[in-house]
Structure 1
Amino acid sequence: MIAPAGLNPVLPFGMVEMTDAEFAHYQPWIEKLTGIHLAPVKKAMLAGRLAKRLRDRAVPTFGDYFQLIAQSGDDAERQIAIDLITTNETYFFREPRHFDALREQLLPLLKGQPVRIWSAASASGEEAYSLAMELASTLGIQGPWEVIGSDISSRVLAQARRGLYPMERAHNIPPDYLKQYCLRGTGEYMGQMLIDRALRQKVRFEAVNLIESLPEIGRFDVIFLRNVIIYFDGDTKRRVVQAVAELLKPGGWLVVGHSESLIGLPGLLESFMPTIYRKRK
């Protein structure tokens, strides 16, 4: 419907429209903080993710909310906004061919030595726990291995540390793993599952912003950097991949998402198999 001149379209109750000018304020701010470049077609997505915060804080427009998170010094609200903007879909054993490759090709080459794996964009923890299940199955629950999961969002990291998920999220977990490493909720936790305590103790979660200087978290045999660099521009992607690859041990592997590629590879990486790259020794 086209609104008469001088009038705005009628929106559903409580919904606020984000203008192009408001979106233009958010774009560089988000990219500076997170490295994520939002194309104009993402305006509706951004508005949808932030709309509830406008209602909760009784802020009338997206422009006013931008002032609140970008200029008022409200650090807590800024973190909430970042959490909402950066949270992406994830699930257990996403892109299963990578887990097949880990189990069948990568881990056999590491036999007899301690193994460290970094899930560099772990979101709410499903990828990190999927990796832990593979390692526990291959090397034993008390074996010489460790998984580090990281994300920029404090909210999803809190969920990851808890390891509690809706039961419907379990459909991609192999039945044997589900039986060994997950507990079915009862009572008030009916319909949920909890990652077994012994497995949770082998996984550590850290807050990491990939576009900033990386913390001292050691060196890794395998790094999963999946479904995150697709949101970066070319320069940011090259810088992030270079920094992450520096944390690989010589001969270690970097795994990216199936929709991603490393055109113009950093000199220290070589292709091992599709979407899996190895650091030169």
Structure 2
Amino acid sequence: MESKHAVQKRSGDLFNQSAITDWEFARFRQLIFDLAGITLSEHKKNLVAVRLASRLRYYSLTSFADYYRMLINAPPEGELQTVVDHLTTNETHFFREPRHFGFIKRHILDNTSSQTPLRCWSAVCSTGEEPYSLAMLLAEHCGYTSDWRVLGSDINSNVLEQARNGLYLNSRQAEIPRRYLQKYCLKGVRSQQGTLLINNKVREHVRFKQINLNTSLPNVGFFDLILLRNVLIYFSAETKHEVVLRVVEKLKPGGHILVGHSETITGISDRLRLIKPSIYQKV
């Protein structure tokens, strides 16, 4: 029988595997680039170690090199997807970058009949706050019975499960305009106290799908509005160029694509014209 001291030493050894060598970090940098197109800078070395340390403990491995060797023979839908889920960043808010939502209301919705079919895509939706924000805006303009739909997509399978639930902590309600909060959200009671739920009528207009923007896009239709915000900063120049061209193919002529306020896609496609910083229209 293994002694208590040996068990503690082995557990400590596994727990302390947060130290990652330069060789190991280089392998994981290349892996996440190949899988998701994400470029990790040198200062992300500790982040990779911390986020993947739990996988070493899960498999009782003693080094990141051992974990990497296991991964190179793993199917994409298995442990490789787990790596993607652990290494992708998922910061998001309801009505993030409010000027964008003001533009959508004033320059798109107010100039569109409430009976006109509308298709919108939140291309990197994380836990769903962005597509639900868009859906509330559309519900306010079009009502529930009009033909509008929002697609939310992400490469991270874990955040998509959260998004489908439409359930959030009450601390997020400060991000939602009071009128929308009262009209489109439900307050949790009893076992759900301290949460808010996006109501069913809004959620019926929103669907979620796992999509990797770094590969050929699936047949998801064509869109009047695409939000591709706060993700391009994680791509290399070449990957950014390829992703934008793929996404623009899904935009209808006359449709709009919005990127993060700190991002630009000027010069990538001659099919886009700049309306104002971070806002483009397909010609």
Give the TM-score taking structure 1 as reference length.
0.92
Structure 1 residue runs of 4+, over 3 Å off?
Answer: 10-15, 72-75
Aligned to 1:32: 34
Aligned to 2:4: none
Aligned to 2:263: 260
Which residue of 24, 42, 45 maps to 1:43?
45
Which residue of 199, 216, 220 maps to 2:219?
216
Q: Is the 8 A contact 1:141 1:198 kept in 2?
A: yes
Post-superposition offset of 1:141: 2.2
> Structure 1: where are the runs of 5+ without partners?
1-9
Aligned to 2:162: 159
Local SS of the residue matching 2:208 = strand
Q: 1:126 to 1:102 in 2, by over 3 A?
A: same
Q: For residues 22 and 242 of structure 2, what CA distance do their matches in structure 1 show?
A: 30
Q: Does 1:206 align with 2:209?
A: yes
Q: For residues 245 and 31 of structure 1, what CA distance do their matches in structure 2 show?
A: 22
Q: Is the 8 A contact 1:68 1:74 kept in 2?
A: no
What CA deviation, in whole Å up to 9, does each residue of 1:197-220 have, x standing for no partner?
A: 111110010111001111111110
Which residue of 233, 236, 257 maps to 2:236?
233
| Alignment coverage as a number of residue pairs | 271
Aligned to 2:200: 197
Amino acid at match of 1:251: G
Q: Does 1:22 align with 2:24?
A: yes
Give the TM-score taking structure 2 as reference length.
0.91
Aligned to 1:108: 110
Q: For residues 77 and 265 of structure 1, what CA distance do their matches in structure 2 show?
A: 34
Q: Does 1:118 align with 2:118?
A: no
Among all aligned residue pairs of Structure 1 and Structure 2, give the percentage whose two residues are the same amino acid. Answer: 46
Q: For residues 107 and 221 of structure 2, what CA distance do their matches in structure 1 show?
A: 23
> Structure 2: where are the runs of 5+ without partners?
1-11
Local SS of the residue matching 1:251 = strand
Q: Does 1:173 align with 2:176?
A: yes
Q: For residues 186 and 239 of structure 2, what CA distance do their matches in structure 1 show?
A: 40
Q: Is the 8 A contact 2:274 2:281 kept in 1?
A: yes
Q: For residues 72 and 180 of structure 2, what CA distance do their matches in structure 1 show?
A: 44
Aligned to 2:250: 247
Post-superposition offset of 1:110: 2.7
Q: Does 1:56 align with 2:48?
A: no
Post-superposition offset of 1:265: 2.9
Aligned to 1:5: none
Considering only aligned residues, what root-mean-square deviation do their CA atoms show, in Å?
A: 1.8
Q: Is the 8 A contact 2:272 2:280 kept in 1?
A: yes
Matches within 5 A, 1:84-103: 84-103=86-105
Q: Is the 8 A contact 1:87 1:153 kept in 2?
A: no
